Amino acid sequence: MKKITLIVPCYNEEEVLPVFYDRSTEVLKGMPCDYTLLFINDGSKDRTLEILKTLAASDEHVKYLSFSRNFGKESAMYAGFTNADGDYVAVMDVDLQDPPELLPEMFKILETEEYDSVATRRENRAGEPPIRSFFAHRFYHLINRISDADIMDGARDFRLMKRSMVDAIVAMSEYNRFSKGIFGWIGFKTKWLAYENVERAAGETKWSFWKLFKYALTGIMTFSQIPLNIASWAGIGLSGVSFLAIIFIIIRRLAWGDPVQGWASLVCIITFIGGIQLLCLGIIGQYIALIYLESKKRPHYIISETNIEDTRRIR
Ligand code: UDP
Ligand code: MG
């Protein structure tokens, strides 16, 4: 019998965790396969770990890994992929925004059709603040244009994958992780299912606008070198402009002499060029920071407690 491992990252989710457990267990029990619920406690400060331990004590399908502090959802997913032993693996949010009821259909598709994974995307963003939706759409448009990561607008991290795909993800051991890009980059045949957006069942979102913005920048910088090219192009463009300006100034000098004028325009030009230079330096600096973090080879996560034997505790 095939086995599914559901990876569930949890950060301060005491309110919704029991609801998630009940609903997903009900769905999984009705499926013709074995399963494990692999919860990753991402350094929660509430009773999440306590609840996980209670669930694990009464249900052998429940496994948990508990981080020593909050490492972020990306690290939690990576810990899940590294420790998942199912034939099929899925990542799922604990807030029930990824409906467990889709699992039987996803499982059936993988069993009967020629796909390596079944991914989900939201058809709309109902219930989300409009400004957030606006920036999200711009982000997907931009990253698809400037990188070779092929990302569907509205794609969720919720997807059921075959073993071969999971192994490929684990092999991508980069420190600055952007899973939506990684899923697209590794390839494989993916079928997309669309569903109506569901709002969080309880608790509140762990992503502030600022955190999302930084995450979007990581996505762009880890999958595209275009921002670096901006520096070169700006340099070439400005050199061209200054060449034309030199010719203009020489002609004006020869034709009309050299009255001292133009202090204001000079200051504008100096500050403009100074600004461009700092911008380009900043872009280069961002990439160097990424290289610096990668080169330190720090672990993606540190596990302080778990009920899995033989884990990769540090990775
Ligand atoms: N999450 C996590 N670590 C974090 C932030 C979030 O493990 O630092 C988990 C969270 O518990 C949830 C999932 O990631 O299961 C998605 O988070 P959330 O629902 O807050 O994000 P949103 O749906 O608002 O994008
Ligand atoms: Mg959510």
Lowest-confidence segment of 73-77, 99-103, 187-191, 276-280 by average pLDDT: 276-280
The pick from 11, 51, 180 for probing ligand 1's pocket by mutation, whose C-beta has the most ligand atoms within 8 angstroms, reads: 11
Residue list, ligand 1 pocket, CB within 6 Å: 9-11, 13, 42, 70, 72-73, 76, 93-95, 97, 200, 205-207
Task: Tell me the mean pLDDT in the region 32-50.
Answer: 92
Ligand closest to Cα of 97 equals 2
Per-residue pLDDT reduced to its tens digit, 115-165: 999 999 887 777 778 888 888 888 888 888 888 777 878 788 899 999 999
Whole-number percent of the chain with pLDDT over 90: 28
Alpha-carbon distance 129 to 197, whole Å?
A: 13
Ligand 1: nearest atom to the Cα of 12: 11
- Ligand 1 atom with the smallest distance to the CA of 94 is 15
For residue 80, give the amino acid letter.
Answer: G
Residue 271: pLDDT band (50, 70, 90) is: confident
Contacting residues for 230 by C-beta, under 8 A, at least 6 apart: 280, 283
pLDDT, average across residues 206-214: 84
Average pLDDT over residues 185-211: 82
Residue 76 pLDDT greater than 90, yes or no: yes
pTM of the model: 0.81
Percentage helix, strand, coil, to 5, in the chain?
50, 15, 30
Question: What distance in angstroms lies between residue 89's CA and the mean position of ligand 2's atoms?
Answer: 19
Residues ≥6 apart with Cβ < 8 Å to 55: 18, 21, 62
CA distance 101 to 27: 6
Cα–ligand 2 centroid distance for 35 (angstroms) = 23
The residue nearest atom 24 of ligand 1, judged by CA position, is: 205
Cα–Cα distance for residue pair 12/18, rounded to 1 Å: 13
Kindly state the helix (H) or strand (E) to which residue 47 belongs, with its residue range: none
At 121 the pLDDT is: 86
Q: Which residue has the CA at smallest separation from atom 12 of ligand 1?
A: 93
